[in-house]
Amino acid sequence: MKNKTLLILTPFLIFCIFILLSLKPNNKGNKNDKPNIIFISIDDLRPQLNCYGKTEIISPNIDSLASRSYLYENAVCNFPVCGASRASLLTGLRPNENRFKSYKTRIDEDADSYPTMGEWFKKNGYYTLSYGKISHHKNDSPESWSEPAWRADKNWRDYQTKENILVAEKNNGVSNAYEIGEDMKDKYADTKMIDKSIEKLPLLKDMKKPFFLALGFLKPHLPFNAPSKYWDLYAEIEIELANNRYQPKNAPKISMHNYGELRKYTNIPNDINQSISDSIQRKLIHGYYACVSYIDHEIGRLIKRLKELKIYDNSLIVLWGDHGWQLGEHNLWAKHCNYQTSLKVPLIIKYPNQKKQKRVNTVVELLDLYPTLCDLSQIEKPAHLQGKSLVKINKSNPENFKGYSRYHKGFTVTTNDYSYTKWANKENTFKTDMMYNLKNDPDENINISVIRNNDSVINKFRYLLDSVSSVD
């Protein structure tokens, strides 16, 4: 009888042991519950890429990433300068009268009581790293990262040729607006950053927790410095200048600027009344293209290593630009304005194990990244976030969403059909405005806010801007 009882209980005991073993903590399994995140920022990158339907720039690695990702065709930044844009994205908060107002913005001064994206993921079990330019200031919000933020650049302009180094040493770090990298003193900072990332990846793979690796490229920010082989990809004589080098018809004067950022460089006229010659404009565009191709190559090196380590497929990869950039459109250079050339950005998100591309046409904001990554990582969202998760939008792709941007006293709402901007005076009352029909006039060449039969649309947009500006 005793032996019979044992025989009956044995299968039950085996089943119990199996259940207990399955409940035992398994660090490797827990890590796989949350995807590793590779978070790639590219400074001053405009969506002039093959994956966005353009053909001028050679960027095969970004295009390949986009071929298996969600590609957002109408993503806008929330403030068209690096410091404020990045602070808004990293905190999930909109710029307003009291925070995120310039390129010098610091999160730990303007919004220290709110957890950054890095800090939130760190609190939720991620090992977080910042290499290169993520926040504008390397030492901003250090609690965000599991290790101190790292950058290779001592002088962010990163000249490497003897000629430019000598000029910069005598001129407060400034020399030419571009550099053809021949006989270089050292590697460029962005190459060093990818070197360090590739070196770190095996250690991150072996950790018993998921990682959040933020990688911030300096280029194609001015000066346009890149190794000569990337300049050689393009025949300068074939590079086309912008076809709308004029102030838009009926556009208010306040919408324009004198591109002071570019005029700081020694080979650019610093007199605001002096135009930039066609030959220099063509050289600047050439340099911008070379820098994008250079960064694309470095991204390719990173992706190759991710694949070798079998990290790539099951990781969440995000690539974003912090704002757009003018290359002579409307006779403007750099950013610093409320035109779509300053506001539109590339935004690409590869889900773990994604095999096909999905193009999302609706307007989205960089502000939306924080809640989206929380959802994709199965992390509870902090209560302060002001953006929307893109997870549901990715499935339905509605066309009724709006993007809100501001540049000082200029406030812009972008939809699939229109862009509308209004400016306020010092008393925060209405000063002037402009509106463009993006379906008929995607390059924003004719301001239609002066046409009276557009009043109903304009009033709707003014109401929307007033509503969003009242949000803390």
Residues taking part in catalysis: 82, 136
DSSP 382: P
- Cβ atoms 125, 374 nearer than 8 A: no
In 3D, which of 77, 88, 158, 54 has the Cα closest to residue 336?
Answer: 77
- Cβ atoms 448, 417 nearer than 8 A: no
Q: What is the residue type of 444?
A: E
How far CA 9 is from CA of 14, 20, 21, 209, 352, in Å, comes to 9, 16, 18, 39, 43
Residue 360, φ and ψ in degrees, nearest 5: -110, 115
In 3D, which of 315, 409, 398 has the Cα closest to residue 361?
Answer: 398
Give the β-pairing of 70-76 and 211-217. unpaired
- Cβ atoms 415, 424 nearer than 8 A: no
Gap between the Cα atoms of 200 and 386, Å rounded: 33
Q: Which residue has the tokens 């199965």?
A: 378
How far CA 68 is from CA of 32, 64, 71, 355, 391, in Å, comes to 21, 7, 9, 5, 16
Gap between the Cα atoms of 122 and 20, Å rounded: 30
**What's the distance, Cα to Cα, between the start and end of the chain in Å?**
76
Q: Which residue has the tokens 């556009």?
A: 251
- Cβ atoms 94, 367 nearer than 8 A: yes
Cα dihedral sign, 98-144-37-191: positive
Q: How many CB atoms lie within 10 A of CB 425?
A: 10
